[in-house]
Amino acid sequence: MSVKIRLQRRGRRKKPFYHIVVADARAPRDGRFIEKLGTYNPMTSPATIELDRDRTFDWLMKGAQPTDTARAILKFQGVMYRKHLQRGVEKGALSQEQADEKYLAWVSDKDSTIRARHEATAEARVEWYKQLSGTVKPIVVKVVEVPEEEAVATDEAPAVEETPAVEATEETPAVEATEEAPVAEATEEAPAAEATEEAPAEEAPAAEVTEEAPAAEVAEETPAAEEESPAEEAATTEKEETATEEKAEEATTEEDTPEEKD
């Protein structure tokens, strides 16, 4: 009868869980088994493996054949390495004590690496839950030690860089003064403009006086013209009278002429 070391499926749908068993090769996968050696849970990160290394090693030495997946698990746990060392002891390449020391050293190193992986995943999970809950991660500031020569160079560099800033700060009042100067000139020119504007205002009455003067002259001349107008009227009346007299004389002369003819 051939005996195999294989996985027996347990768990539920989409969440498998396996038993590592020794069973007859003719038995169904999930059927009867001879002995349970451990468990394997692939749903965790990293995968969880619990295995009885001594009992598994005994079954291997008796001739049990592991399946591919079971062989990978046994190799990960160091059972296959122990079998390799035992074959070297049988051939006389090394003693049993040397083989045991090598195996224990390998197992201790492997267990430490597995433990470190579990701790790293646990810390990552804690950080993930902190991010979900909204807690802020602490900010770690790395302090870099600077040599003394570089520190002196860095101390001198800002002094050189600060001088333009000082010049800029000294120049800025000048710029402000130049900017304020036109304002002052504008303010000085504004009263001058007001003065010039007031000067014509003051001269305006003089102009009005000068304009009123011809009006007075016109007013003075108008009476003279009015005084002269009666004389002109008298002259016109005299002319009209003379004209009427001439017309009357002509009429009389015309009347006298027919009588002379008769």
Query: What's the confidence (pLDDT) of residue 34?
Result: 94
Q: Which residue has the tokens 């017309």?
A: 247
The confidence band for 231, taking pLDDT boundaries of 50, 70 and 90, is: low
Rounded CA separation 81/35 (Å): 22
64: helix, strand or coil: coil
SS3 content of the chain, % helix, strand, coil (to 5): 70, 15, 15
pTM beyond cutoff 0.85:
no
Query: What's the confidence (pLDDT) of residue 187?
Result: 47
More confident position, 202 or 121: 121
The confidence band for 237, taking pLDDT boundaries of 50, 70 and 90, is: confident
Output the CA torsion sign for 91, 94, 98, 99. negative
* pLDDT for residue 126 is more than 70: yes
User: Residue 24: beta bridge partners?
Assistant: 3
Q: Would you list the domain boundaries of the chain?
A: 3-133, 147-220
More confident position, 112 or 160: 112
Query: What's the confidence (pLDDT) of residue 244?
Result: 79
pLDDT tens across 241-260, in order? 777 777 777 776 665 554 44
67: helix, strand or coil: coil
Any idea what the Cα angle at residue 171 is, between residues 168 and 175, rounded to 5°? 125
Rounded CA separation 113/194 (Å): 95
Query: What's the confidence (pLDDT) of residue 112?
Result: 92
- Lowest-pLDDT range, 85-94, 104-113, 215-224? 215-224
Cβ neighbour number for residue 6 with a 10 Å cutoff: 22
Query: What's the confidence (pLDDT) of residue 256?
Result: 58
pLDDT tens across 26-72, in order? 999 888 999 999 999 999 888 999 999 999 999 999 999 999 999 99
Q: What is the mean pLDDT of residues 144-166?
A: 57
Domain 3-133 has CATH 3.40.1030.10: no
26: helix, strand or coil: coil
Q: Contact 19/8 with Cβ under 8 angstroms?
A: yes
Query: What's the confidence (pLDDT) of residue 199?
Result: 41
Give kind and range of the element (H or E) at residue 83: helix 79-91
Query: What's the confidence (pLDDT) of residue 248?
Result: 75
Give kind and range of the element (H or E) at residue 60: helix 53-62
Token pair of 147 as six digits:
């040599």
Strand 15-24 to 65-66 pairing: unpaired
- Residues across the chain: 262
